[in-house]
Structure 1
């Protein structure tokens, strides 16, 4: 197999007695995230014997299997064969992805750390709002809390560190930034990421057939709206369209 993986990748790591982690890199990159999403989707379309679950993280695919039905060596052989069939780093992203627009108010009481984040990025507040609101980012993974997306990758100016301390609490729908990524919170939580904007997005909807608003691979934008428009919104304003 050829591709953009660093030396030693992709590789298979055992996870307990019934799991294998298919790792495409140690660090987040577009190619490694693409590989993880594409490989996981391929396994779901054509699942090897004995595999019971497949899920993704930023740069890995986790495979859980039934150790009473199939041996570790068999699983490793099946996964190694699949890895050799394609350049997963250049594979097409899974079908069924969507483009999602989530209206966001930046700065002020709704994004109290925008100025701090902008300064760290070497931007004015208006330049920061323009950059974040115009960026199209991919949901690289869902994790930490139900339906919570990690989104990237932002322009290089946003390679800013997390805070050294914690913000005690940010609300549901908070948009935060660090290390060229955005996170949109599905729960009220403390965080070391900088709170730059606020949405009305309801990411976890347990009463829906599809409880998570976003899925790994979706493309998301956070267009800027005024504080007045945000405060008078009667719904979340989220729009979703299929990607061709």
Structure 2
């Protein structure tokens, strides 16, 4: 793992062509906390001050994609401008400005594989839930399905592999884990990650003014509630599922 204050895992991030109208800035060849922060910092910089001809920018776990209008600019210009922009963000760590507090219920029908996760992590079930809910999680990336967040990183005892066979389906709102990360499912889906909890918050809300409430770089904290409390939240029909958005102090 890289130093907590070092944004790049490699001394020189790669600026690579991608398709006809894309440039990929790759900070590492595999997930790395510093590379992830750097990818998010580059997006924040490009959103605050877009490059001429920039159409879109989005971060993944260790890279940033920038799309450009081929009628308005050139690939050579975008690539050079990105190299210059990287110098500006090289020592700018990102910290969550927004933190989501999301009620969630764990174990039983809301998380049938909680016992298995606790055994692998070397904790009792209650201690595992306490550790998860006390861990500061960042939205590392949005992907796989609209609005769906990858959250991390959890402590080292959460370093567990994916399942050897798929769980045929987990419901929308399922909280699953593998490789020190959490995924909060936007829709019912098969998964190879272990299912330990569920919430009523929907990370993709088709008819909302803002269909994707979470964004990369947000902080997330799960607030444990009983199954009956989760059922009461669901009965309201609110896709925010009792989640509270707070500004970091």
| Displacement after TM superposition at 1:98 (Å) | 1.3
The answer for the alignment partner of 2:247 in structure 1 is 242
| Alpha-carbon contact 1:176-1:184 (below 8 Å) kept | yes
Instruction: Name the CA shift for 1:164/1:36 in 2 (closer, same or farther; >3 Å).
Output: same
Q: TM-score, normalised by structure 1?
A: 0.92
Q: Deviations over 1:103-160 (max 9, x none)?
A: 1111111100011111111222122111112222011111111111110010110011
Within the candidate set 27, 32, 37, 1:29 is matched to 32
1:172 aligns with 2:172: yes
1:150-165 equivalences under 5 Å are: 150-165=150-165
1:59-208 equivalences under 5 Å are: 59-88=62-91, 90-93=92-95, 97-208=97-208
Q: What is the CA–CA distance in structure 2 between the aligned matches of 1:49 and 1:231, rounded to whole Å?
A: 49
- Mean alpha-carbon deviation: is it higher for 150-159 or for 218-227? 218-227
Q: What is the CA–CA distance in structure 2 between the aligned matches of 1:51 and 1:25, rounded to whole Å?
A: 23
The answer for the alignment partner of 1:51 in structure 2 is 54
Instruction: Name the CA shift for 1:13/1:174 in 2 (closer, same or farther; >3 Å).
Output: same
Within the candidate set 16, 20, 25, 2:23 is matched to 20
| Displacement after TM superposition at 1:70 (Å) | 2.0
* Number of matched pairs: 240
The alignment yields a C-alpha RMSD, in angstroms, of: 1.8
| Displacement after TM superposition at 1:62 (Å) | 0.5
Q: What is the CA–CA distance in structure 2 between the aligned matches of 1:43 and 1:103, rounded to whole Å?
A: 33
| Displacement after TM superposition at 1:34 (Å) | 1.3
Instruction: Name the CA shift for 1:142/1:7 in 2 (closer, same or farther; >3 Å).
Output: closer
Unaligned runs of 5+ in 1: none
Q: What is the CA–CA distance in structure 1 between the aligned matches of 2:191 and 2:68, rounded to whole Å?
A: 34
| Alpha-carbon contact 1:9-1:23 (below 8 Å) kept | no
1:40 aligns with 2:43: yes
Q: Deviations over 1:11-42 (max 9, x none)?
A: 11111121011111122233211111111111
Q: Deviations over 1:152-189 (max 9, x none)?
A: 01011001111011000000000000100000000000
Unaligned runs of 5+ in 2: none
| Alpha-carbon contact 1:134-1:223 (below 8 Å) kept | no
